[in-house]
Structure 1
């Protein structure tokens, strides 16, 4: 625990302050459960575990009764055991770091339980759409002063905590397809930092989004802290609006022998939270997209396919089309072939399919379920080296079952005894779900894979193509499941060079 300067604050507080801060339009509130199951995940430690637990806070079971399919994270969860770290400064690692893409893919696809609560709903499939996250009670011992402005770095002070929440708001803005619910840290029994905790949580509820001029409906704050400070303190749906009543004290009013909230306090929070969440869910979901593309990032390298390509002289393709998937095998190949990590039960379907096509009657469907830390590829391998130097790159049409699916486009170049692999990573955007989108990748977009010599080198010898592939792998300890379709795979016609004019 870092040392802090003791803050003595004398203040006069109203016994009960009624507010409607950060509340939806009262005419639009709907405290009823969603009609269809909604996937929700809760990031927590011990207080959250108690809150979820049957016979303690009962939150898990009550959420299920309101049509939420609940999953959660706890100590030891996820890539890099990120579940161990839920203090306020740790939210920067979760939502504002180089690892955010990997952590979020794992979080959005988690469907297991890490606490003891009844879950009767069947998994409706797809990603978690609601993200609850909460720090534990030591995060109510914030240093600094109640009125401190946001600092320039994150730590366990009032200013440092404000900095953290301002930074992570940028990620939330990029994901309007997710509803992020901030659960404030519960209070402690000590009065030493109580004024700071109250001031910070008041800022979160009343000022955070206003100061940031944040207008999206996908971020909401539930003041778990306030509810637990007084029997008469509330944050709830009541009489057609969101009601906020601050009580007389700033410390824990529901102790359990230590600073974990008691069963009574946890159950009070559950009773108030469920209609509160329903109200904000209905406001958000009206305009929420089904999914959006997450922050792009390279995934870890795929293992090289083991099939050898015979040495041969280069041949120039007869046209710009590589494969329209209408039935004919591309000349000089055995058609599309599947390779995968045989040590795990990975599933990969890669074949022409007549269900949906961009043009003609068929497209290549790639339906996959890649186990964590594994890989698979859908390959087109040539019996002789292809000279594609008269073209500028690859082009194809893409359709996806959902946004945010990560796959690679791979190029293989050179003879079998010196084969090189180059790669470009794609994350499926939202418009690929509603229809077909055009993808154009130029040779300079491809870089040599990390496991080979000269990793990161730009691809520069299209006259030595031995094959290409659509590759699939995973973020650490995270599965990769979904389906994409590809149609009209071809080569980009080279653009004539502009003549050089002498001055």
Structure 2
């Protein structure tokens, strides 16, 4: 094609794009399915403090560290272990007030380094004894003391599914499909069942925000003409798959269906950040809902719900009367 024709084609696409591109390039509102699933009902158990000191470990990266710490100017004492952060949710303080002794494992430590969905089964299979001894990263609890509660989560990239995949899925991945993710969590349960005296609290990965498209008009238009998905459409599809997967994770008819023990529970962090199905994207992102890290408001809301949830779960698991 001649240079003149290329210039004309590019000009035509840009002009045509002006007819379709959302005003000011803003991404459209989430419109995918937001069907909710019922979660395990813990309402029959008291939400009061446990009444006995319990050691609790949270395995996390940046989002979890910010959820734990108090809001304030950023002050980091170890990688993603904060003394304060603008996105702080105050969870550590609120748990401590209930009588829990809170410990952390994050980036750079043996237990905290790998936290994607495909890492959990190998980590708990091969390093469970070390998990239960963590005080802070690679530091260990005094002899004879163990973590009775282990809270663990993956981060928001684990909600960027590439498709449904094929049943029954591969627990090792590596492609992040819904079926591979289901297989990974299913392969984890036999390891958790070996520790009936330990409560495992899985937090679903936090939702991604719906970001403004940065695609040039000509590229967006070309994709529309060729029938290829735009960046926004890819993000919407990922968010819809994330809703479907996390519904399965928390549903008694999903991940834990047939699991005979009472030492595993799911807290739906994803659902909290999406305002319980108002969207399939986070509505509590930081920096004006442009950053995937949840804001202080979103984290404080999460902490307020998570503390009584854990109080009920420890009673269900038989850790306290």
TM over 0.5: yes
Q: Which residue of 1 aligns with 2:317?
A: 284
Change (3 A) 1:71 1:170: same
Report the Cα offset of residue 113 of structure 1. 6.6
The 8 Å contact of residues 69 and 123 in structure 1, kept in 2 or not, is answered as no
Q: Deviations over 1:282-306 (max 9, x none)?
A: 1112699xxxxxxxxxxxxxxxxxx
1:108 aligns with 2:138: no
Report the Cα offset of residue 123 of structure 1. 8.2
Q: Which residue of 1 aligns with 2:208?
A: 188
Report the Cα offset of residue 142 of structure 1. 1.4
Change (3 A) 1:286 1:135: closer
1:139 aligns with 2:153: no
Out of 92, 96, 99, the residue aligned to residue 60 of structure 1 is: 92
**Pairing of 1:438-477 with structure 2 (within 5 A):** none
- Cα distance in 2 for partners of 1:83, 1:127 equals 17
Q: Which residue of 2 aligns with 1:260?
A: 293
Out of 251, 260, 280, the residue aligned to residue 250 of structure 1 is: 280
Higher strand share: 1
1:75 aligns with 2:95: no
Change (3 A) 1:248 1:90: same
Out of 264, 268, 273, the residue aligned to residue 228 of structure 1 is: 273
Bigger relative CO (Cα 8 Å, ≥ 6 apart): 2
Change (3 A) 1:286 1:109: closer
Q: Which residue of 2 aligns with 1:34?
A: 50
Report the Cα offset of residue 54 of structure 1. 1.6
The 8 Å contact of residues 184 and 221 in structure 1, kept in 2 or not, is answered as yes
- Cα distance in 1 for partners of 2:153, 2:297 equals 19
- Cα distance in 2 for partners of 1:284, 1:223 equals 18
Q: Which residue of 2 aligns with 1:198?
A: 243
Secondary structure of the equivalent of 1:285? coil
Secondary structure of the equivalent of 1:194? helix
- Cα distance in 2 for partners of 1:47, 1:282 equals 27
Q: Deviations over 1:371-390 (max 9, x none)?
A: xxxxxxxxxxxxxxxxxxxx
Q: Which residue of 1 aligns with 2:113?
A: 84
Scaled by the length of structure 1, the TM-score of the pair is: 0.45
- Cα distance in 1 for partners of 2:142, 2:90 equals 20
Report the Cα offset of residue 52 of structure 1. 0.6
Out of 47, 51, 59, the residue aligned to residue 67 of structure 2 is: 51
The 8 Å contact of residues 166 and 208 in structure 1, kept in 2 or not, is answered as no
Secondary structure of the equivalent of 2:132? helix
The 8 Å contact of residues 33 and 240 in structure 2, kept in 1 or not, is answered as no
Change (3 A) 1:272 1:148: farther
The 8 Å contact of residues 124 and 131 in structure 2, kept in 1 or not, is answered as no
What is the root-mean-square deviation in Å for CA atoms of aligned residues? 2.6
Report the Cα offset of residue 248 of structure 1. 1.9
Q: Which residue of 2 aligns with 1:167?
A: 187
Unpaired segments of 5 or more residues in structure 2? 1-29, 72-87, 211-234
Change (3 A) 1:95 1:150: farther
The 8 Å contact of residues 31 and 279 in structure 2, kept in 1 or not, is answered as no
1:219 aligns with 2:267: no
Higher helix share: 2
Larger radius of gyration: 1
Report the Cα offset of residue 91 of structure 1. 1.1
- Cα distance in 1 for partners of 2:97, 2:320 equals 25
Report the Cα offset of residue 126 of structure 1. 1.4
Change (3 A) 1:12 1:252: closer
- Cα distance in 1 for partners of 2:206, 2:152 equals 13
Change (3 A) 1:209 1:136: closer
Secondary structure of the equivalent of 2:297? helix
- Cα distance in 2 for partners of 1:278, 1:287 equals 9
The 8 Å contact of residues 34 and 278 in structure 2, kept in 1 or not, is answered as yes
Change (3 A) 1:205 1:268: same
- Cα distance in 2 for partners of 1:208, 1:151 equals 15
Out of 247, 254, 271, the residue aligned to residue 208 of structure 1 is: 254
The 8 Å contact of residues 48 and 308 in structure 2, kept in 1 or not, is answered as yes
Scaled by the length of structure 2, the TM-score of the pair is: 0.70
- Cα distance in 2 for partners of 1:153, 1:12 equals 26
Task: Give the number of aligned pairs.
Answer: 243
